[in-house]
Amino acid sequence: MLLLPQPAKLMIMNLFCIVPFYNEAAYLPACIESLLAQADQDFHVVFVNNASTDDSARIVAERIKDVAGATLINEPQKGTGSAADSGFRYAIAHGATHIARTDADCVADPTWIAEIKWSFGRGTELIWGKLGYRHDDLPVHLKDRVLFPLAIMMSDVYGNLKWRGPQYQSAYRMGGGNNMAITADLYNQAGGFPRKPLDEQDDDVALFDAARKLTSQARRCKNVKSYISLRRTRKHGYIKTMLYYWDRKYTPKEVDVR
Q: Point out which residues pair with 89 in neighbouring strands.
A: none
- Write out pLDDT tens, residues 106-132: 999 999 999 999 999 999 999 999 988
Interval 217-239: pLDDT, tens: 999 999 999 999 888 887 777 77
| pLDDT for residue 257 | 43
- What residues in the chain have per-residue pLDDT under 50? 1-9, 255-258
pLDDT of 142 reads 84
Give this prediction's pTM. Answer: 0.87
111 SS3 class: coil
Report pLDDT for 11.
Answer: 65
What homologous superfamily does CATH list for 9-245?
Spore Coat Polysaccharide Biosynthesis Protein SpsA; Chain A (3.90.550.10)
DSSP category for residue 42: -
Q: Which pLDDT score, from 0 to 100, does residue 50 have?
A: 95
What is the spatial distance between Cα 220 and Cα 155, in angstroms, rounded to a whole number?
Answer: 14
Do 99 and 18 form a contact (C-beta atoms < 8 A)? yes
- 91 CB burial (10 A radius; 0-12, 13-18, 19+): buried
In whole angstroms, give the CA distance from residue 82 to residue 258. Answer: 11
> What pLDDT does residue 8 have?
44
